[in-house]
Amino acid sequence: MTDLTELTAVRLVDGYRKGDFSPVEVTRAALERAERIQPELNAFVRLTGEEALDRARRSEERWRRGEPGGRLDGVPVTVKDILLMRGHPTLRGSRAVSPDGPWEEDAPSVARLREHGAVFLGKTTTPEYGWKGVTDSPLSGVTRNPHDPSRTAGGSSGGAGAAVARGAGPLALGTDGGGSVRIPASFCGIFGLKPTYGRVPLYPASAFGTLAHVGPMTRDAADAALMLDVIGTPDARDWSALGPAPGSYTDALAEGVRGLRVAYSPSLGGQVAVRPAVASAVRRGVERLAELGAYVTETDPDFTDPVDAFHTLWFSGAARVAQRLRAWQRELLDPGLRDVVGTGARYSALEYLAAVDVRMELGRRMGRFHEAYDLLVTPTLPITAFEAGAEVPKGSGLRRWTGWTPFTYPFNLTQQPAATVPVGTDGDGLPIGLHLVAARHRDDLVLRAAHALYEAGVPVSPTPAGS
């Protein structure tokens, strides 16, 4: 029998059309899986079972009439608890946020999914205000890796990554301000896309400003393209949103990678120490791109680590979050968040603007780089998942999560589209991600290359224990 929790959104929609199974059957299976994994992984802050089944029943009737209500009608989806979802609290992983309503508004991406008939299973876990690259908070505790619950799922969209990996819905909405879609997608062995900034509108605006993107976390690239076709449309509430997409991302997948110019940077010019298992798996993925017809050159983008500038912008955003809180609410914050809030509050306006200058120069360099290369490929992360409940690997000597995410946050500074594709596992069976980056507005190239790897059978998404 078909395990409905293992099917992609594309396959589900096709099955609904053919009458192979129904949205109610699929939703029940996804909810049962979510309830089963929750005690072990802590992927959810809230399940919305009755509401989900009600939406699924209405979807089933539309499919029975041959009148689907949208491109994702009846497909289960989860929403990170950073994004507003009508009728349910959005607590942002914080004890400082009151659950009292009314909660009457959807975020733009949630609204588009609702308009297309998606079935909302619930809200997924996040660290407080999405501030770090792992998922734990004083409000909801520690979220664990589906491949080894003693390890972290990554963050800040860790609940979303764990849910998709374990079959609790094929689609998830995440947010990414420094890697927060790609980090958990890599650690959990799924696909994650950070679209070009503004491609997916965001409201309310993030305190972290134009570093923050909204993106899909899915079972494969085709599902992400379909999801981006739905959520990547303008919304008047986001003044920085882009205009309509230039075409269908789903339609673009068939173009493949033949003739694309790919720059492969194993370590950003020796700036990053990459574990051997990670380096080997990523290199094999790059070799497959070459076999598929891409022109691959091993070369590095011309920039040094912009971590200081990123910290200035990121910690200032954290300080802005806390500025709106009363003293008693600040005492409830994650101690690590309180620490970076204090740092951010000490920056001057001139220091902030100097970080903006670094960002603009990095954007210029990457713009010129992509005149010569269609895609940049790196590891998504230099390591695999480490112990749960820690911001940095034990014994690493690192202080902040940015110390082990040097491939992700630079491309939040530049607002480029970037995705992670699972390409293998290490000796402990933990997933490894390959990172694809394109010029701004060329989300289609990232999705084409990822889809070509999936079609070629390259992505290795090991089945988590207990699935």
Tell me whether residue 150 is one of the annotated catalytic residues: no
Sign of the dihedral through C-alpha 153, 94, 39, 32: negative
**CA trace torsion 304, 309, 310, 314 (10° rounding):** 170
- 401 three-state secondary structure: helix
- Of residues 94, 109, 156, 186, which has the active-site annotation? 156
The values of phi and psi at residue 287, to 5°, are -60, -35
Q: What is the DSSP string of 240-283?
A: T---S-SS-HHHHGGG-STT-EEEE-SSTTTTS---HHHHHHHH
- Of residues 80, 123, 132, 194, which has the active-site annotation? 80
Tell me whether residue 156 is one of the annotated catalytic residues: yes
- Of residues 22, 180, 265, 316, which has the active-site annotation? 180
Q: Which long-range contacts (CB under 8 A, 24 or more apart) does 242-251 make?
A: 242/196, 242/198, 242/199, 242/441, 245/199, 246/441, 246/444, 247/444, 249/225, 249/443, 249/444, 249/447, 250/222, 250/225, 250/226
Tell me whether residue 132 is one of the annotated catalytic residues: no
313/264 Cα distance (integer angstroms): 28
What single DSSP character describes residue 387? Answer: B
- 297 three-state secondary structure: strand
Q: Which residues are catalytic?
A: 80, 156, 180
